[in-house]
């Protein structure tokens, strides 16, 4: 296996380790609330600190990647995140908890951008899609981490003990995962001499804004399903509480399955065709949810939303990475800003609208937004300019000579 092939599996492993780290924290939030005796508003502040800190760090990571390469940032980030996770578990009061969560959010934001930028670089050099596989690894690790957290919680294991063990294991796993990442030249393989400008004001190109808006809509839809699908099933479709949880299960399982086959489908049929069909499947699934007043049909509808939506964000990341006119890492950081904004505000916006119009009408309002995203599928047929292709070929050859 050549260097680029090894890098493909290395960056996939990075996604897996990051998913384990973040999901281990998220799965124990109810326990954190109880242990620190937090009110709903206090917990809301803690949760906001993580997302807001990640958003802030994302504004500066693109320039750091352009200077130092994404490999170094990933290595440092995957060394720091386990330590900060242990800090969250060992916090003795809400102030210490808030500081640990804030720092964890800052580092996670940097790692999130860096690993997506590195995956884009590997995909560009490999000339075959890998983003869906990377995001599938994150989804699988999130499910595994959630199951482990549920088991240790049921066994009475404390947050501190669990996070210390998880931190120790993932600290080693993270450094092993990064061993075969590409050198810094890979992150510069799509830049020409006139594209070296960095900083938080750079990267806001028209393609990035368009793809960012598409990613924003996709993530609002995902956040709405994750946060409100069970409530809709229980309150609007008459399902009991145990059954209501199956909406999230169906969504997550189908999303993971879609991402596992997404790269193969993209390689065979092309990004634009896969994106168009997948977005249409998501629209059909959402239409079933809002139009058919039967709980098991709603579960099936949420499954279709997960299946169709599974490949949309990875394909958008790939498209941004191929776009000329700016460094890929900077473009990815701007795109991630849009997607995180969708995750942060999506549940709240759905709640506000649902309070006035009801959940069914609120989810109905997402239909034209997702349909609009599907209509933009033609944008994914764009190719990088010739200068960028030449730079990519030179970088690929240089990397192979070094190994």
Q: How many residues make up the chain in this entry?
A: 403
- Domain range for 166 is 3-190
Q: Are residues 259 and 372 in the same domain?
A: yes
Final residue of a domain: which of 161, 190, 219?
Answer: 190
Residue 16 placed within a domain: yes
The whole-number pLDDT of residue 188 equals: 64
pLDDT averages per 10-residue partition of the chain, 403 residues: 89 96 88 87 84 87 80 95 96 95 95 91 88 92 87 90 96 95 74 50 77 93 87 88 84 92 93 95 97 94 96 91 64 85 83 87 94 89 49 51 54
Query: Which pLDDT value is given to residue 364?
Result: 95
Domain boundary among 132, 158, 190: 190
Residues 153 and 211 in one domain: no
C-alpha to C-alpha distance for 379 and 271, rounded to whole angstroms? 10
Tell me what pLDDT residue 384 has: 46
Q: Is residue 197 part of a domain?
A: no
Residue ending a domain, choose from 190, 222, 245: 190
Residues 124 and 268 reside in one and the same domain: no
CA distance 106 to 208: 23
Inter-residue contact 47 to 98 (CB < 8 Å): no
Output the domain CATH number for residue 7.
Answer: 1.20.1250.20
* pLDDT value of position 63: 77
Domain match, 183 and 232 both: no
* Whole-number pLDDT of residue 75: 95
Number of domains making up the chain: 2
pLDDT score recorded for residue 270: 92
Same domain, 228 and 174: no
Are residues 304 and 244 located together in one domain of the fold? yes
396: in domain: no
Both tokens of residue 357? 């119009």
- If asked whether residues 127 and 244 sit together in one domain, one would say no
Does the residue 67 lie in any domain?
yes
Residues 315 and 364 in one domain: yes
Establish if 403 belongs to a structural domain. Answer: no
Residue 130 falls in which region: left (phi positive, over 0), alpha (psi -120 to 50) or beta: alpha
Clarify whether residues 210 and 302 are in a common domain: yes
């Amino acid at each position: 296996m050549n260097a680029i092939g090894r890098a493909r599996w290395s960056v996939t492993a990075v996604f897996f380790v990051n998913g384990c780290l973040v999901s281990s924290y998220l799965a124990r939030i109810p326990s954190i609330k109880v242990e620190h005796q937090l009110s709903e508003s206090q917990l809301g502040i803690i949760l906001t600190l993580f997302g807001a800190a990640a958003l802030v760090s994302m504004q500066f990571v693109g320039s750091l990647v352009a200077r130092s390469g994404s490999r170094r940032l990933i290595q440092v980030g995957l060394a720091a995140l386990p330590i900060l996770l242990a800090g969250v578990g060992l916090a003795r009061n809400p102030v210490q908890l808030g500081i640990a969560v804030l720092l964890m959010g800052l580092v996670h934001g940097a790692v999130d951008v860096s690993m997506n930028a590195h995956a884009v670089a590997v995909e560009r050099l490999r000339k075959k899609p890998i983003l869906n596989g990377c995001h599938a690894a994150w989804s699988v690790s999130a499910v595994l981490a959630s199951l482990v957290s549920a088991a240790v919680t049921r066994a009475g294991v404390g947050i501190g003990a669990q996070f210390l063990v998880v931190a120790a294991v993932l600290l080693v796993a993270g450094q092993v995962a990064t061993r075969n990442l590409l050198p810094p030249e890979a992150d510069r393989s799509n830049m020409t001499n006139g594209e070296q400008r960095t900083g938080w004001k750079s990267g806001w190109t028209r393609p990035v804004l368009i793809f960012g808006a598409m990613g924003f809509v996709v993530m609002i839809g995902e956040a709405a399903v994750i946060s409100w699908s069970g409530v809709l099933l229980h309150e609007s479709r008459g399902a009991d509480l145990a059954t209501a949880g199956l909406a999230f299960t169906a969504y997550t399982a189908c999303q993971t399955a879609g991402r596992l086959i997404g790269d193969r489908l993209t390689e065979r049929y092309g990004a634009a065709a896969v994106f168009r069909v997948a977005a249409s499947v998501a629209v059909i699934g959402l239409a079933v949810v809002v139009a058919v007043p039967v709980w098991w049909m709603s579960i099936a509808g949420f499954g279709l939303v997960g299946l169709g939506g599974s490949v949309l964000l990875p394909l958008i990341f790939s498209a941004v990475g191929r776009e000329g006119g700016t460094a890929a890492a900077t473009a990815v950081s701007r795109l991630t800003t849009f997607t995180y904004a969708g995750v942060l505000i999506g549940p709240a916006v759905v709640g506000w609208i649902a309070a006035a119009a009801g959940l069914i009408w609120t989810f109905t309002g997402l239909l034209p937004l997702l349909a609009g995203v599907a209509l933009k599928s033609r944008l994914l047929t764009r190719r990088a300019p010739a200068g960028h292709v030449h730079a990519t070929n030179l970088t690929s050859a240089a990397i192979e000579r070094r190994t």
